[in-house]
Structures are given as C-alpha cells and as structure tokens.
A and B are shown apart, each in its own frame.
Chain A
Amino acid sequence: MKTLVRPPVIARALVLIALLAVPLVVEDQYIRHTLVVAMLYAIVAANWDVTLGFAGIFNFGHLAFFALGAYSAGMLTKKFGFPTWTGIPFAALVATIASLIVCLPVLRLKGIYVVLVTYAFSQLCYQVILNQTEYTGGTFGLVLVPPLEVFGYSFRSAGNIPYYYLALALLVVSTVYLHFVIRSNLGRSIIALRDNEAYAISRGVALARQRFLTFGASAIFTGAAGGLYAQYLRTASPDMFGFAFVTFTLAMLLLGGIGTMWGPIIGAFVFTFISEAMIDLKEWRWLIIGTLIVVVLRFFPAGLLSLVEQIGERLGRRLQPAAPVPAPERPGSG
C-alpha cells in the first residue's frame, strides 16, 4: 500500500482554482449544493482514512463522530441559545472527546472485534439520540438548526455562496492538516504500527498513546464538518448513524484509494456526482454503484488515484520519448 501517492502540484492547484471559481461562473444552485455536500464528504472520508487506511484500524465508528458533530452544533445553538459561530468548534470538540472514548476499548482489541466495538459505539450514540427526544428531536431529527451567522452576516445570503466558501476553506485546511499529520513523526509512527505493531513497539513507540492521538487527530475535522453540515442543511438526522451512510462513505474511500492522502477526496467528488447523476434511476442506482465499486476494485485495487497515476505516467513517458530509461538500481552491496 503506497502512502504518499499524490497528483502533481499543478493538478491540485487547478482543481482548487476551479473550485474557487465555481460560484462566480456557475449559477445553478443545485451544482453548488452538490459540491458543498461533496466537500463535506471529502473531509469525512479523508479523515476516516487516518484510522482506517494509514493506521489500519477497522474503525467503523467514524461516521458517529460526524453525526455527533452535527447534533452537538445543532443542540448548542438551538437548544442552549449559544451564538451560531460556536457550533463548529464545539462540534469538533465533542467529536474529539467521543473519539477518545471509543479508542479506549479499541486499545485491547484487534481485527473484527474492533469493527464490532466501534460500530456498537455508533449504535449506542444512535440510541441515546433517539431517547433524548427533548434535546435531539428523537426519530424526527433535530430540525430548524439556526444557520451560521457571523457579526450579523448570514451564511444563507447570496444563495448559500458563503457556505460554499466555508466548506471549501474547511476542506483546504483539513487537507493541509492531514498532510502535516501524515508526514509528521506521529504519522510515520501510525503507519509503522500498521505495518508491524510489535516491531514499532520494540522501537519505543507507545501503542496506547499513539492510538489516542490517531483517533483524536481523525475526529477534529470530521466533527467540524458535521457541525457545518447541520448548520448548512439546518438539520441533524438519526440516519447519520445508519449503516447506509457508513457504506456510502466507505465506498468513497475504497474507490478513491485507501491509505492515500488524495484518494478519499477524489472518491468523494466522483461518488457524490455519480450518485446525484443517477438519482432518477431510483433503486437501480445502488446496483450500478455496487457494480462500479466491484469493477474499480477488481482492476484498480489501489483505487481511482492509482488510475490517475498510471495515466500520468503514460503521458509523462509519451512527452519524453528520448529520455533514457534508468536501469533499476541494485539495493546496497548485498
């Protein structure tokens, strides 16, 4: 599993410029809305990749961090009357605390048991949300969440364009943050523990501490995205704890390329748009998406990012036909 695969700087810059320009050139609110949703999914999927891909921990409670972020931002601003700008930071805080709690049992478990415990945590949150109807709205969800307002300026003005830029800013900050996390000593130790746990411990890596840091690091922006989601859509729904939501995001991760920085982001955009484009097909949509996942994983097990990389390499070779092919270097003297 490669860890540092990434599209060239120019491609990333062009995509960022295009995303910055969208509200200026595209008047269609629906496309803007889909992009906001895709960007939030990209944040969730990319941060999930920290535990699932880079750390190799089968954490199926990640979407609960997102849902808890949405509910906590909604409840703080709607039920307790806090200013709306406190919603997103509070969501990040609650999600991080939740991630540290779910990490506790994970410290002593491996493999399938981690899946069970983390998913059970998600279901536990779901039950609590359902029972606390007074605060959470129960099965109906938390509705009429106050939209974000900063210094009297509503983010709903100008056809939700401020929300678009806020989501984009959050995606950029989250991506830069993940870039530094993965390249830091913490990031290397997370990958080392995935590659060989006993060996990493034998080199002084403290397993429990690194696990807590891994979970905490993956939850901050996931929670923040949840808070923004609730304030943008003005609702937090118990469906956010459901398995459909988990599989949807997991598909983005697998399609894009697990254990990579950019794969989940590419996966989120591609998957959100494919899914929206096929909305008229009703149930057939899921059949086609399922087939697509199987086909991509069969032919490109490392995800769509590896496909992009292969195309890039071929183009590169074609552009430089005269360049000599370097002989493969023999490692060391042995």
Chain B
Amino acid sequence: MADVLVVENVVKTFGALRAVDGVSLSVREGEVFGVAGPNGSGKSTLFNIITGIPFHADSGRILFDGTPIERMPPHAICRAGIARTFQTETDFETLSLFDNVKLGTVYGHARGMSEEEQRRVTRETLEFVGLGGDHDRPAGDISVFDKKRLMIASALATKPRLLLLDEPASGLTRPEIRETSALIRRLSETGVTIVLIEHVLPLLLTVSNRLMVLNFGQVLTEGHPKEVVKNEQVIEAYLGKRGDHGRDAA
C-alpha cells in the first residue's frame, strides 16, 4: 500500500534540548500506526511539527501524499487532509457541541459544502463518535470523555485522510477506554489512516497495525506491536535497566 505520510529526518530543538532528533517514519494508507514512548520522548512534538501547530520542524522533510508540507501554513495542512487531536481536552468552550464540529465542516477542507450539507455532516459526525442528544449544549459544560469525543468529531468533520490522535484515552475510566478503542476501530474501518499516540498500552496494542517507540527524541524501534513491547531496549526505556536504579529513564 502507498505511503500517506513520510517523515524524513525531522529535527526540533528548544535551546539545548533536541525534542525530536532526526526522526523518520512512513505511514501506509489505511493503517493504524501507534507511537509510544516515555514522557518527554517527543511524541506530541512530532504531531506538532507534522501539523505546524504551534510550530514547524527546524529541519527535515514531511511529505503528505508525496507533497512537501513542512513549510505549509497550519490551516492549509488541515485543508490538505491532516487533522489532529490534542493531549489535553481542547474545545471552543462557549460554542455549542454542534458549532464546535460544524466549524470543521466549514473551514476544514478545500471543497465547499452547502449549508444543508454542513449541518448534515455535523450531525452525522457527532452521532458517529457517540455524542447523541442535545447538540446545543456549550462545549464547556460536558464531561472529559465527551470532550475527547467532541475533539475527535471536530477533527473528523474536516474529512481528513490522516488522523493524528494524541492520547485519546488519557484520564478515562476503563469502560470509557473500551469505548474509545471501539471508536478508533470504527474510524479505521471508514478508511482513514490513523497515527495514534497513547500511554494506555493495551489500547495501543489492540488497535495498532505497527508500533514505533520514541525515546529522547529518537526512534528506538519500530515493528509489529507484540514484538516491539518485548524489545529489551523498549523495556529499558520505560522501566530502566535491571539494577540501574540511579538513572531516570524518562
């Protein structure tokens, strides 16, 4: 299958810290590509530089469908077909659930839709992620789980070909994680390619086709999820070396 996203040797530094240090990866069309790694390993920074929000990479190339996007304005990257969610619950708190999602249908892609079509897509998207009921509630008033789903809905409303999910399960209860896992599978079935950052390993292992582990801004390993988690280096990065209690792995 063709590569939807190709990242080549991207670097992002903050002063002396190399948050992303020469990362390369390629994501195939239709797959769920998992990204794991300890805190501060550069996972979210990788999402930031792919989408240009809030910054671009210092160097390296990023190709989406073969087109370089590393210097494209962030709103244009969204319109080109890449949508992301954020690690913390993010919303337009004073707008209704409906308007939160409708914004994506209006501005999120190059092709214009009629008002009627925008409203239909908005309703369908909200229902797809499981947010039925009253869509006129302000987004600031809903639960954490609903906010996470609302954020996914607003990303979906932009009709992305590539969806970047940043820790969609963090802070959720077990039943909610199960629902999120089912949602990601349903998303994947629609044909959208997904890159998934997650700390909740069972979720990551169940839904990912391939898994990459980052540590200190570099790719530690990449491969089939079941094999990756058995990798000695990965265990070390998460838990530290056997008998090496002095060193902070994160």
Q: Which residues of A contact B (CB under 8 A)?
A: 1-3, 185, 188-189, 191-192, 195-196, 198-207, 329, 331-334
Contact = CB atoms under 8 A, between A and B. Distances in A.
B141 A331 contact: yes
Interface of B: 51, 53-54, 73-75, 78-79, 83-84, 86, 90-95, 99-100, 102-104, 106-109, 130-134, 137, 141-146, 149, 154-155, 157-158, 176, 179
Given A198-B54, A203-B104, A332-B131, A191 B74 contact: no
A148 to B, nearest CB: 39
Nearest to B151: A199
A67 to B, nearest CB: 32
B239 to A, nearest CB: 32
A217 B146 CA distance: 34
Contacts of B131: 332
Given A192-B99, A332-B145, A334-B146, 14 more contacts: A1-B94, A188-B103, A191-B94, A191-B95, A196-B91, A201-B74, A202-B53, A202-B75, A202-B84, A203-B83, A203-B108, A206-B73, A331-B133, A332-B130
7 contacts: A188-B106, A195-B91, A200-B103, A203-B78, A205-B103, A332-B146, A333-B130
B147 to A, nearest CB: 9
Contact of B93 (A185, A195, A203): A195
Nearest to A54: B94
A332 B143 contact: yes
The winner among A192, A200, A202, A333 for most chain B CB atoms within 10 A is A202
A189 B93 contact: no
B180 to A, nearest CB: 10
B109 A204 contact: yes
Given A192-B95, A199-B92, A332-B145, A204 B86 contact: no
Contacts of B130: 332-333
Given A189-B103, A334-B145, A201 B53 contact: yes
A202 B133 contact: no
Contacts of B83: 202-203
A233 to B, nearest CB: 38
Contact of B149 (A1, A202, A203, A332): A332
Contacts of B74: 201-202
B143 A189 contact: no
B107 A204 contact: yes
Contact of B92 (A2, A192, A329): A192
Contacts of A191: 92, 94-95
B1 to A, nearest CB: 27
A199 B86 contact: yes
Nearest to B139: A195
A199 B86 CA distance: 9
Nearest to B79: A204
B53 to A, nearest CB: 5
A202 B143 contact: no
A1 B134 CA distance: 20
Nearest to B82: A202
A195 B92 contact: yes
A188 B108 CA distance: 14
Given A185-B106, A334-B143, A334-B146, A199 B94 contact: no
Contacts of A331: 133, 137, 141-143, 146
Contacts of A199: 86, 90-92
Given A191-B92, A191-B95, A196-B90, A203 B103 contact: yes
B78 A202 contact: yes
B40 to A, nearest CB: 20
Contacts of B104: 203-204
Contacts of B84: 202
Contacts of B134: 329
Contacts of B146: 331-332, 334
A92 B41 CA distance: 54
Nearest to A334: B145
B142 A203 contact: no
Contacts of B79: 204
Contacts of A332: 130-133, 142-143, 145-146, 149
Contacts of B154: 203
Which of B73, B99, B131, B142 gathers the greatest number of chain A CB atoms within 10 Å? B99
A3 B109 CA distance: 26
A196 B157 CA distance: 18
A3 B154 CA distance: 20
Nearest 6 interchain pairs by C-beta: A334-B145, A204-B107, A204-B108, A195-B92, A204-B78, A331-B142
A329 B133 contact: yes
A299 B94 CA distance: 22
B75 A204 contact: yes
A11 B94 CA distance: 25
A80 B222 CA distance: 75
Contact of B94 (A3, A185, A198, A204): A3
B176 A188 contact: no
Contacts of B99: 188, 192
Contacts of A188: 95, 99, 102-103, 106
Contact of A198 (B53, B106, B142): B53
A238 to B, nearest CB: 38
B145 A203 contact: no
Contacts of A334: 143-146, 149, 176, 179
